Structure 1
Amino acid sequence: MNKEIELLIKAQANVIEVVSYEDKRIHGYVNAAAKSLGMSWYCWNEVNGLQRYDYASKEYVKEDDIKDYLDILNFFTDTLEENAILILQDFHHVLGRDDPKILRKFREILQNKSLPNKVIILSMPVKCVPDDLSKELSVVEIGLPDVKQLRTIANTCLNNYEVNQSSIDVPVLEAALGLTTMEAQLAFSKAIIEFNKLDQSCIPFIISEKESIIKKTGLLEYYHTSTKLGDVGGLENLKNWIDKRGKSFTPEAKEFGLETPKGIMLLGVPGCGKSLTAKAVAKAWNYPLLRFDIGKVFAGIVGESENNVRKALEIARAIAPCVLWIDEIEKGLSGIQSSGQTDGGTTSRVFGTLLTWMQEKTEPVFVIATANNISQLPPELMRKGRFDEVFFVDLPSYDERKKIFQIHIENRKRSIDNLDMEQLARETKGFSGSEIEECVKEALQTAFSEGSKPLTTEYLLEAIRSTVPLSITMGEGLRRLRDWAKFRARLASNGQVEDIDTEKSKSIPRLKSENSNPFLDD
């Protein structure tokens, strides 16, 4: 990274925006570039004023008590000596206010090519450059620490606590991927204090720390999943596809000429295994699972929503290989067609950021996006290149319903030997997987309330007959969804598709507010 900064300085870029939350890393890169080019460097912020870095003592020396933003820019142009770099911290606050005097001063600096080897480094945690400056400003984004940098951090922590350890295994360092320098330093330090070492026995502890830190962002949730592909009833076409693609992440696959899988879109009926599949894929491939709630990226500050989505995607890149699960993606992108009129284009820009990342990412981040409502999905999201495949997840077939009953009954430590599985499958035509699970839970509740009796077919049938499935309440909408998917998506199941009785659906009374539901009749 210091080479990139050094190259821009050599190219006479006199203002460079460096985007990172980590001041120490920015200072380290600037220090390396300055030493290589024989330049001195300074750091300014509103609290500490102007400080010069002294190479001999490796300390910051106070030079001036300048506290005003415009004054420090005037100091740069009028007073600062030649061959010097000035790091300006926290300027995103003033740039976000679009102060005309500050913007005019920056434009003069950017357009003044006679400044002799003077460079401003804007150290900012988020991209916050007004349109007035964006075309003339150079931008460098510093990613999260990689394994090599994490090794340096870990060794520093071991030295600080005087722990004599000759080497650190790579899996220990990989456990901290996705953390900033300070977060990794804290996680390593706590592990050393707890175990007096930093080896593979510390990995669960470090991952637990990482989970807490990632959850704190409010954008991503780190999942520990025990769900196996065998826990997903049916969806054999999808499971076979997943099984084949799991081998495509290996060096042998790359050498063979295969590209790293990008991801899949799972469209279809609510409660039919889309989210369960996302969890099962992560378990099958032994990858971390990150759930991305795209609805949480939206913030009230201009530009903050786009920065939130970049932050979430950067964490996913750093943790790779991983599975990034975007659940109910249509909810986060609803209103994109009218974004310019309703939210100043924020939704559209967030969507653009996500699309660009999906198209250009090279890291092994496998995206699983799930959606229930196809009418809210922008067509750009569906084209080839974003996802490897689009699967339609329909209601389970007869054989799949038997399998789903078996899974949920046996998961609750009950046997199916004395149950009429054929009758249960027949009686649940049009039921989703989650509705079948609820029937099993309700039947067990009834058996328990009547004196902890064994689970019987009769208890299950009683629960089934008291349930009104989605295929009844949303019958016509489900038929339209099937028609849409027929020529646009691949079937996740290899079971026989069963007709939906739309006449029953028409007879159900509805609230006026339900007319907005795209699955229901107009």
Structure 2
Amino acid sequence: MNNELTKQIFSLIKLNNKLIAVESPLQERIWLLTNLANECQQNNINCYLWTLEDDALHQLETNEFGLTLQTVDQYQAIAKIRRENYFEILRFWQTADLQGILILEGIFPWLGESTTDPDFFLTAEWIKSALINLKLYNCNAQKTAILLGPNASLSFDIAPEIPTLIQQLPTIEEISTHLPQVLPDYSADEIHATAIASVGMYLADIDYGIRQALAPEIKPLELVQKLSAYKIELFKRIYNIQFLQPPSTPIGGLELMQQAFKTYKRLLTTLAKAYNLRLPKGILLIGPPGTGKSYSAKACSAQLGLPLIILEWGNFRSYGNLAEYKLKNLLALIDRINRIILYLDDFDKGFAGDDDLSRRLAGMLLTWMQERTSEVLIIASANNIEWLPPELTRSGRFDEIFKVDLPNYGERHEIFKIHLARFDARFRHGGDGYTEPEWKRLLKATQRCVGAEIGAIVERAAVFTFCQMFSEDVLSVGELPPLEITLSALLTARQNMNPLAIREADRVESMRNKAALQGQASSPIDSSIYSLGNIDIFG
């Protein structure tokens, strides 16, 4: 466990690096410390640990029971009169006759970018100076200091002096090697299935998830399902994202976009790779709110059979100084999972402030999009394309830009049938409950309604119909009577709704016009029997 990271650390030590920064998540700490202590014992090197929490020095050793810590009496903590007194360990390690590896935990917050707090700034400068002195005074000694923490952010002035190693998420091969220790009775196929469900988690998280799921008589398939559910919940807590398996999502209209999705599926094949063909670097969906951009991302997930990560891009602004750290970890997660769709919802809202944080986040994303080798399809949605930096919309960033417009008559007909089928059995399996004249009346009445509003109209009509059928609670019902939504119920629901495209006509038309200048059509010209040709948009 963590063997690769341990090898990288000792490779840098052999190159006579006296300072090494290591970024490792807290849950993996015990494994990393155990591996370092093991490697040190095999090479007859002393290994010490200091933490900010107790300001005590311990020597690390391992035995058949695991990791042990022995207090080093030679180091005596001093009174904390000034902030730098908390880091007296740096001066001690510089002058003490001890040799080996010193692991320092809790020091990174003082090594990041500068702050306006003068007291904090002076402490940070003292620590940086003390670290540089470690390199100078111990250049010929067998001493190495490892700075350890979950976020190894270093300011530009000291970063060149300290090489940084980042513990990567384990590969599926590494997980498969680890799992037999936890699940000794599982077959090779069962281990492989469990490893696939575990991709994206650290080994400590996998162990915890398995312990939570294991129960007497639990079958391997049940364990995989519970582990997948645990992973989804973990991703939500750590990364604030939704992780969805490919859904079964019907979509009304947008045929041109759906054809493009089918093309992307072919680009994932081995044959396409043989011709050096690849997925687009990014797909941008632009248009007014409620027109089906988020729904289209789910439809793409269903079409390609790839999991979907939904990320509210604007949320990263709320993380402040941690935003870049959060984004870096999320992109590493996506790279490790591979063959996945990343959907950046409301992408434009992340740039509404036009501040330095927005530009840095955009720069990180662009660099990753340009350099990544993983098979990740990036889909972003935007209502106001003018908020996006110009460099994001040029060719080579988002290769495909689709205008997702207000649905035409034929598309509204399909959307209505999808939503009606949720409540009214007449519309399932290709069935229909209305005549052509009734459809024409309904579609004319819902002109300029978007898909989300059509869904709300149907749901309101279904509630009204239910209340009409059952005026009071029925405690015992044999065979339930069918719920048949009438045209009048839908028209009444429509009358009680004022669509956004009518309420905010100027804004919506501005969005549509700008989208038309930038994007290609996602729908063909309406050729359905309900098409009325050119109509007054404010009818």
Instruction: In structure 2, list runs of 5 or more residues that go unmatched.
Output: 78-84, 113-119, 427-431, 471-482
Q: CA deviation at 1:106?
A: 1.4
1:206 deviation in Å?
0.5
For the 8 Å contact 2:37–2:62, the answer to whether it is kept is no
- Which residue is 1:518 aligned to? none
Corresponding residue of 2:13: 9
Deviation at 1:133, TM superposition (A): 0.9
Deviations 1:63-104 (A, max 9, x none): 52545653322233222545x222212222444544132121
Superposed CA offset, 1:284-322 (max 9, x none): 333222221233334566x32221222322332333322
- Which of 343, 360, 364 lines up with 1:353 in the alignment? 364
Aligned equivalents of 1:26 and 1:79: distance in 2? Answer: 26
Tell me whether 1:331 sits opposite 2:349 in the alignment: yes
Structure 1 distance, partners of 2:255, 2:201, is 37
Q: How does 1:115-154 map to 2 (within 5 A)?
A: 115-154=140-179
Equivalence for 1:243: 262
Instruction: Describe how 1:3-152 pairs up with structure 2 within 5 A.
Output: 3-21=7-25, 22-27=28-33, 30=36, 39-46=45-52, 47=54, 49-54=56-61, 59-64=67-72, 66=75, 67=77, 69-82=86-99, 84-95=100-111, 97-98=120-121, 99=123, 100-110=125-135, 114-152=139-177
Please state if 1:418 is matched with 2:434: yes
Aligned to 2:429: none
- The whole-number CA distance in structure 1 between the counterparts of 2:258 and 2:363 is 30
Q: Residues 448 and 537 of structure 2 are in contact (CA less than 8 Å); yes or no, is this contact kept in structure 1?
A: no
Given that residues 476 and 502 in structure 1 are in contact (C-alpha distance below 8 angstroms), is that contact kept between their aligned partners in structure 2?
no
How many pairs are equivalent?
488
Cα-to-partner distance string for 1:209-252 (whole Å, 9 max, x where unaligned): 11221222252122356342xx1110111111011101222333
> What TM-score, normalized by structure 2, do the two folds share?
0.81
Q: Does 1:479 align with 2:500?
A: no
More moved, 38-47 vs 403-412? 38-47
Conservation of the 8 A alpha-carbon contact between 1:321 and 1:364: yes
Contact in 2 for aligned 1:222/1:290 (Cα 8 Å): yes
Question: Relative to structure 1, is the Cα distance of residues 423 and 500 closer, same or farther in structure 2, using a 3 angstrom cutoff?
Answer: closer
Query: Does 430-439 or 466-475 show the bigger shift?
Result: 466-475
Secondary structure of the residue that 1:114 maps to in structure 2? coil
Task: Name the structure 1 match of 2:391.
Answer: 380
**Residue deviations 1:367-392 (CA, integer Å, cap 9, x gap):** 22111122322222212333331111
Distance change in 2, residues 1:132/1:480 (3 Å): same
> Normalising by the residue count of structure 1, what TM-score does the alignment of the two structures yield?
0.84
Partners of 1:219 and 1:297 within 8 A in 2: no
Give the residue type in structure 2 aligned to 1:472.
I
Letter of the aligned partner of 2:372 in structure 1?
Answer: K
Matches within 5 A, 1:233-382: 233-299=252-318, 303-336=321-354, 339=355, 345-382=356-393
Shift of 1:263: 3.3
Aligned partners of 1:92 and 1:124 also within 8 Å: yes
Contact 2:58 2:69 in 1 (8 A): yes
| Partner in structure 2 of residue 202 of structure 1 | 223
Q: 1:372 to 1:413 in 2, by over 3 A?
A: same
Q: 1:428 and 1:220 mapped to 2: Cα distance? A: 34
1:188 maps to amino acid: I
Matched residues in 1 for 2:508 and 2:517: separation? 15
Deviates more, 1:416-425 or 1:16-25: 416-425
What do you get for the CA RMSD once the two structures are aligned? 3.0
Q: Deviations over 1:20-69 (max 9, x none)?
A: 11223533664576578764433222337323334677644525254565
- Equivalents in 2 of 1:384, 1:110: separation in Å? 47
Q: Which consecutive residues of structure 1, in runs of 5 or more, have no partner in the other structure? A: 340-344, 505-522
